[in-house]
């Protein structure tokens, strides 16, 4: 993707941190929205923000497994060991970096939504499609923030200067989720794009299913999962093809982030062992290494080289061009199954088993029968843990289900299920003080 800075002013996180450094192309605000070509480049810039190093470019993906029982810190970065131990300080570089990078992404979206209201060189359908994609992105950004930090400043207008008016207090978790649902409601009705590199209506329905499952709104989660699967429900015949990056994206993939030699991630480098040219900062934990050897997923999530285990889901050490998958059909099947379980586990048993066994069949495992299903919810949890290992989802699942303190030995207190608010935010934002810090930090 071509890097693009939408405007040249100080970009603040919740209002103060500029991490949007060294863009390859800089244009003035007036130029950015002066033509179709420039507006589309600005939209590309909004997607480019997903590639930032503390976001899907590396750390959000790593943290989603490292804080859980899926992986272990094994390299030289102290901040990763603190995540692994679930012993975070407010000045941890990852705590601060994820927050700042996501607010950079939010500000790009807000700025573009603000500016394109008055442009006249797109027809109404084109404009609604663009607005829908932007609302999807903003919803995704806030969904990641609220799950990590709890209530956060809910910025819906762009930060154009360093005025004190730009600093906002924390919104409630409920208000953040309400905005996420509203943004996705708009997105699912207005997006026209069908390419999985960008937001689609199916992606909006899929994300809504995940959001509502997280909120415990199981009927809504089931409904949106159905909507998504009605738009295409195939699973790849070959699990490894999803992560090869060498072919066009499989139809299973709903939304992904492309990377290239010029816009690379360092996931392969951080996962591969030193003997293969990597850093091995993020190593599989026993829960992943013990995966059934008959499971074809084992070859990717717990590969071994000279007795050292590592994931091969990201394998492009040379160029860092591995795509990062955000949403795919396998997850929507498991969301639907879990929602159905929580609605009525007995009445929905056959549907639950059907969705679960689709995933197991692709993995080369024998199906679970009704008589064997002593704990369907436990089976669904384990299946999702293996299916999405090293895709940054396990920690969020454990928090959502209240299972973190049972599954992760280093999580011994409820407060550890949220990250602390970044120290930089507390120091810079007059509307957030030490008294607003998450409990326990």
In angstroms, the CA 252 to CA 329 distance is 5
**Claim to verify: residue 277 and residue 178 sit in the same structural domain:** no
The Cα 101–Cα 104 span in angstroms is 5
Does residue 277 share a domain with residue 134? Answer: no
CATH number at residue 79: 1.25.40.390
Place of tokens 């490292």: 66
Last residue of a domain, one of 322, 341, 367: 322
Residue 172 sits in which domain range? 1-192+411-441
Statement to judge: residues 273 and 154 lie in one domain = no
Quote the CA–CA distance of 345 and 91 in Å, as a whole number. Answer: 44
The low-confidence residues of the chain, meaning pLDDT below 50, are 1-25
Domain annotation covers residue 78: yes
**302 found inside a domain:** yes
Pair (281, 187) in one structural domain? no
The two structure tokens encoding residue 306: 């000279």
Is 167 among the domain residues?
A: yes
* Last residue within a domain, chosen from 289, 304, 322: 322
Q: Which pLDDT value is given to residue 304?
A: 96
Look at residues 46, 47, 45, 152 and name the one whose alpha carbon lies nearest to residue 98. Answer: 152
The answer to whether position 143 is within a domain reads yes
Distance CA 221, CA 177 (A): 14
Residue 391, domain member (yes or no): no
Total domains in the chain come to 2
**What does the pLDDT look like over 62-75, one tens digit per residue?**
999 999 999 999 99
Q: Look at residue 31 in the predicted model and tell me its pLDDT.
A: 76
Alpha carbon distance 128, 115 (integer Å): 14
Express each pLDDT in 178-189 by its tens digit: 999 999 999 999
Q: Which of 282, 302, 322 is the last residue of a domain?
A: 322
- DSSP three-state, residue 88: coil
Structure tokens at 278: 């990597």
Give me the pLDDT at residue 24, please: 42
In a domain, 161, yes or no: yes
DSSP annotation of 318: T
Average pLDDT of the chain? Answer: 92
Closest C-alpha to 152, from 425, 362, 343, 397: 425
- Does residue 301 share a domain with residue 183? no
Q: What is the pLDDT of residue 5?
A: 38
Residues 6+ apart with CB under 8 A from 34: none
Q: Residue 21: which residues within 8 A CB-CB, separation 6 or more?
A: none
For residues 25 and 35, give the distance between their C-alpha atoms in angstroms, rounded to a whole number: 16
The answer on 153 and 71 residing in a single domain is yes
Q: How many CB atoms lie within 10 A of CB 227?
A: 18
Q: What is the pLDDT of residue 13?
A: 38
177 and 267 share one domain: no
Strands 282-284 and 71-73: antiparallel
pTM: 0.93
* 49 lies in some domain: yes
- Note whether 132 and 208 are within 8 A (CB): no
pLDDT of 118: 85
């Amino acid at each position: 993707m071509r890097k693009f800075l939408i405007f040249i002013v100080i970009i603040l996180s919740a209002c103060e941190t500029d991490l949007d450094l060294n863009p390859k192309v800089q244009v003035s605000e007036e130029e950015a929205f002066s033509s179709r070509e420039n507006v589309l480049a600005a939209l590309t810039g909004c997607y480019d923000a997903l590639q930032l190093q503390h976001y899907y470019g590396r750390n959000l993906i790593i943290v989603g497994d490292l804080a859980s029982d899926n992986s272990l810190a094994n390299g030289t970065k102290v901040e990763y060991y603190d995540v692994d131990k679930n012993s975070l300080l407010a000045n941890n570089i990852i705590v601060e970096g994820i927050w700042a990078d996501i607010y950079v992404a939010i500000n790009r979206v807000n700025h573009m939504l603000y500016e394109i209201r008055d442009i006249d060189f797109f027809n109404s359908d084109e404009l609604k499609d663009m607005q829908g994609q932007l609302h999807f992105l903003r919803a995704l950004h806030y969904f990641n923030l609220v799950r990590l930090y709890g209530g956060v400043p809910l910025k819906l207008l762009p930060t154009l200067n360093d005025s004190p008016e730009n600093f906002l207090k924390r919104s409630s978790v409920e208000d953040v989720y309400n905005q996420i649902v509203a943004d996705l409601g708009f997105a699912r009705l207005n997006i026209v794009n069908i390419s999985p590199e960008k937001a689609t209506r199916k992606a909006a329905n899929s994300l809504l299913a995940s959001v509502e499952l997280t909120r415990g709104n199981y009927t809504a989660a089931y409904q949106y999962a159905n909507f998504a699967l009605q738009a295409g429900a195939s699973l790849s015949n070959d699990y490894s093809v999803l992560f090869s990056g060498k072919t066009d994206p499989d139809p299973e993939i709903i939304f992904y982030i492309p990377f290239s030699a010029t816009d690379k991630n360092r996931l392969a480098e951080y996962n591969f062992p030193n003997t293969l040219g990597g850093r091995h900062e993020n190593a599989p934990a026993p829960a992943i290494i013990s995966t059934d050897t008959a499971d074809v997923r084992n070859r990717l999530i717990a590969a071994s080289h000279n007795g050292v285990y590592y994931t091969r889901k990201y394998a492009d050490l040379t160029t860092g061009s591995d795509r990062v998958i955000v949403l795919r059909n396998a997850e929507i099947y498991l969301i639907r199954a879990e929602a159905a379980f929580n609605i009525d586990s007995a009445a929905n048993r056959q549907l639950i088993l059907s969705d679960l066994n689709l995933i197991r069949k692709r993995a080369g495992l024998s199906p679970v029968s009704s008589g064997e299903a002593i704990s369907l919810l436990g089976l669904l949890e384990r299946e999702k843990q293996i299916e999405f290992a090293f895709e940054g989802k396990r920690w969020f699942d454990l928090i959502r289900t209240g299972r973190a303190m049972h599954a992760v030995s280093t999580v011994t207190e409820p407060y550890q299920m949220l990250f602390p608010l970044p120290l930089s935010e507390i120091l810079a934002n007059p509307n957030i003080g030490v008294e607003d810090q998450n409990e326990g930090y």
